[in-house]
Amino acid sequence: MTSRPHRLRGAVALLAVLPALAVLAPATPADAAPEQVAPATAARMSVAVTGRVVRFTNGRPARGVRVSAYDAGETDFLGADLTDEDGRFGIRVGDQYEEFGIYVRGARVGLQNGWLGCDRTLKPTFGDACTFSAAVGRIRIKAA
Query: Please, how many CA atoms are within 13 Å of residue 42, restricted to the half-sphere of its CB?
Result: 10
Report the distance separating Cα 34 and Cα 26, nearest Å: 11
This prediction's pTM: 0.66
Report the distance separating Cα 59 and Cα 66, nearest Å: 18
pLDDT tens digits for the chain (144 residues)? 444 444 444 444 434 433 333 333 344 344 444 444 444 444 455 778 899 999 999 999 999 999 999 988 767 899 999 999 999 999 988 777 778 899 999 999 999 999 999 999 999 998 899 888 777 888 888 988
Q: What is the pLDDT of residue 132?
A: 84
In words, the CATH class of domain 40-141 is mainly beta
Domain boundary assignment for the chain? 4-38, 40-141
Q: What is the pLDDT of residue 45?
A: 57
Angle made by CA atoms 44, 51, 57, in degrees to the nearest 5? 170
Q: What is the pLDDT of residue 74?
A: 66
